Amino acid sequence: MSRGWIVILVASTIIYCLKAAAPMLLGDRRLPAWLTTLTTLMPAALLAALVAVSTLATGKHLQLDARAVGLGAAAIALWRKQGFIVVVIVAALATATARARS
């Protein structure tokens, strides 16, 4: 078997177990109150972390570049109550423009 397929099969199996652990093991049981609080709040922390990392990180470096301009434009669009698709397009346009000018 090729190196690629060994990585695919081993890593995919482990990753699938990570994905399925909670849905398979918790099942239909009612969650304890503290876990419910955790699951209502955790998406905010995870989403904000995804926003920060995908805007500012390049490998192990933090850098402020054209992506931040796009995110700023997206924030303005959201504040002006624009829809999801508009927000995403505005971000791409702002970033592309900022890059073209630099």
Partner 1 sequence: MASPEAAVVRRAIRRQGLAIGVSVIPFGVAFGIACSEANLSTGEAMGFSVLMFTGGSHFAAVGVLGDGGSVGAAIIAAVLLAMRSLAYGVVMAPILTGSRWFRALASQLMIDESMAIGSAQVEPADQRYGYFSGGISIFALWNASTFVGAALVSSAGDLVTTWGLDATIPAAFLALLWPRLADPTQRAVAIGGAVIAMGLVPIATAGLPIIAAAAAVALARIAPRRPVGRS
Region 60-79 residues binding partner 1, contact defined as CB under 8 A: 60-62, 66-67, 69-71, 74-75, 78
Enumerate residues 28-67 that contact partner 1 by CB under 8 A: 28, 31, 35-57, 59-62, 66-67
8 binds partner 1 (CB under 8 A): yes
9 binds partner 1 (CB under 8 A): yes
Q: How many CA atoms lie within 13 A of 78 on its CB side?
A: 9
Give me the least distance between CB of 76 and partner 1, in Å please. Answer: 11
Residue given tokens 């093991």 in the structure block: 25
* Cα-trace Rg, the chain: 20
The only residue of 32, 76, 94, 102 in contact with partner 1, by rule CB under 8 A: 94
Give me the least distance between CB of 67 and partner 1, in Å please. Answer: 5
State how far the alpha carbon of 50 is from the alpha carbons of 9, 21, 24, 43, in Å. 27, 22, 25, 10
Q: Which of 54, 56, 43 is nearest to 88 (CA)?
A: 54
